[in-house]
Amino acid sequence: MTVIRKIAVTGPESTGKSWLTRHLAGYYQTAYVPEFAREYIERLDREYVQHDITQIAKGQLSAEYEAMKRTRGLLFCDTELIVTKIWSLHKYGSCDPWISAQITNNPYDLVLLCDVDMPWEPDPQREHPHLRSFFFDWFLRELNAYGFHYRVIRGRDEERLNNAIKAVEDYMAETG
């Protein structure tokens, strides 16, 4: 039986998470899970509400379970549930307890936290260009509070990808 190691790529808006996730999966020739929130929100014919964040979290986990069936040992996930927790707390002042429980119940072997050292790229789904450092610090606090194994990934384009590959390789060497 193949051991599947889940690696999440997370961080504030417009930090290259989707690009990095796709490229890591390509480099390691394995499956990846796209960001479910993007697809979910694109299908809405209204503004999203707090309940939608829980549905997004459920959809993200479901997509991860499906992708685990077709992976080759490593599974790269574009975002994870800390994103939904932070998003809900910031926008609504509370978070569905189910989301918090799932963060603990569905840990990742490694989390790659994308730094805010890339330029902001406007997108209709992005909301806080001026708060990226604020959110980055919040991600750090959450990752530390949960005790997750993480690495901060910096650089642009190929440099960012190479730094992420090095973080994955270092993790694999550390854990066997």
Domain-wise residue ranges, the chain = 5-175
Helix (H, G, I), strand (E, B) or coil at 166: helix
Tens of pLDDT along 6-16?
Answer: 999 999 999 99
Place 52 in a pLDDT band, splitting at 50, 70 and 90: very high
Please tell me the pTM assigned to this model. Answer: 0.94
Which amino acid would we find at residue 71?
Answer: T
Which pLDDT score is estimated for 1?
52
Rounded CA separation 9/161 (Å): 11
- 5-175, superfamily in CATH? P-loop containing nucleotide triphosphate hydrolases (3.40.50.300)
